[in-house]
Amino acid sequence: MIMSNENSPSRRKFLQRTLSLIPLVTVGSSVISAEALAEKKKEGAEGVSSQYVPTFFNQAEWRFILAAVDQLIPEDALGAGAVSEGVPQYIDKQMELPYGYGHLWYMQAPFANGVPELGYQSSLVPRETYRRGIKAVNQYCQQQFNHDFADLDGQQQIDLLTALEKGQLTFEAVSGKLFFAQLLDNTKEGYLSDPIHGGNQTMASWKLIGFPGARADYQQVMENPNRPYPLGPVSISGKRSI
């Protein structure tokens, strides 16, 4: 599911599949900014605030998030990537909402492995999954490469994320597969969300797949399927795409 630029399904098909599976609305020390990574790909990207300071993630965790989501949805010829669209900010904000604390679903024992149709089964809430997962991955990277995940080269990062996704890399504190699923789900949500929630700031993903957003006149267009929507998308806040 990692969106490499060379050997992956098309970004448009990936986003269209994802859009059908998830909702669009989900409700002291110096910290490295998203701009530091985003400007490597698109200097002055509209969706990234150089002044953003995470409220949940610490500096090491923030560096991991920036590097990981950049590999999951990188910038390419078809559009902006997750970092320049503000996905890291989206994830950070979600960790301070009821979702991050696990208040949106039943979190009482017993906990058991089950099929996805049975819903969330882990005893860890998203905040704990990120805390444990990032710490475990960075410790593994230090043991193997003498560097944190964020300091590895691109191919090493992709290999590690792939190992997590396939369950080939796991930890005592948290399932590697669970951690990857949490990260991937939140990255897709942020990339496809309404900009009001922090991600998809330029509505790049909506423009790519032809989604109109919160336009009130979309019902009329539904009567003419398979025809491109002629206008750009609009956020719930009224923000319009360029």
Report percent pLDDT > 70 for the chain. 71
Interacting residues of 128 by C-beta distance below 8 A, sequence separation 6+: 174
Q: Maximum distance among all alpha carbons in the chain? A: 58
Domain that holds residue 69: 54-221
Task: Give the count of beta carbons closer than 10 Å to the beta carbon of residue 19.
Answer: 17
Residue 157 lies in a domain: yes
Q: Which pLDDT belongs to residue 238?
A: 82
Residue 29 lies in a domain: no
For the segment 102-114, the average pLDDT, to the nearest whole number, is: 73
Q: Do residues 226 and 196 lie in contact, with contact meaning Cβ atoms separated by under 8 Å?
A: no
Instruction: Check residues 29 and 198 and name the one with the higher pLDDT.
Output: 198
Return the HEC string of the chain.
CCCCCCCCCCHHHHHHHHHCCCCCCCCCCCCCCHHHHHCCCCCCCCCCCCCCCCCCCCHHHHHHHHHHHHHHCCCECCECCCCCCCHHHHHHHHCCCCCCCCCCCCCCCCCCCCCHHHCCCCCCCHHHHHHHHHHHHHHHHHHHHCCCHHHCCHHHHHHHHHHHHCCCCCCCCCCHHHHHHHHHHHHHHHHHCCHHHCCCCCCHHHHHHCCCECCCCHHHHCCCCCCCCCCCCECCCCCECC
Residue 108 lies in a domain: yes
Residue 217 lies in a domain: yes
Instruction: Check residues 107 and 195 and name the one with the higher pLDDT.
Output: 195
| Segment 153-167, tens digit of pLDDT | 999 999 999 999 999
Residue 234 lies in a domain: no
| Segment 204-235, tens digit of pLDDT | 999 888 888 887 766 667 777 777 777 888 88
Lowest mean pLDDT among 3-12, 18-27, 105-114, 218-227: 18-27
- Residue 208 token pair: 């790519």
Interacting residues of 240 by C-beta distance below 8 A, sequence separation 6+: 232, 233, 234
- Say how far apart CA 165 and CA 185 lie, in whole Å: 12
Interacting residues of 99 by C-beta distance below 8 A, sequence separation 6+: 26, 27, 126
For the segment 111-138, the average pLDDT, to the nearest whole number, is: 84
pTM summary value: 0.77
Q: Which pLDDT belongs to residue 14?
A: 57
Residue 81 lies in a domain: yes
Q: Which pLDDT belongs to residue 125?
A: 94
Q: Is it the case that residue 76 has pLDDT exceeding 70?
A: yes
Average pLDDT, the chain: 81
The residue among 65, 73, 60, 63 whose CA lies nearest residue 2 is: 73
Q: Which pLDDT belongs to residue 101?
A: 92
Residue 33 lies in a domain: no
Q: How confident is the model at residue 22 (pLDDT cuts 50, 70, 90)?
A: very low
Q: Which pLDDT belongs to residue 214?
A: 84
| Segment 37-47, tens digit of pLDDT | 444 444 444 45
Number of domains in the chain: 1
Q: Is it the case that residue 203 has pLDDT exceeding 80?
A: yes
Residue 47 lies in a domain: no
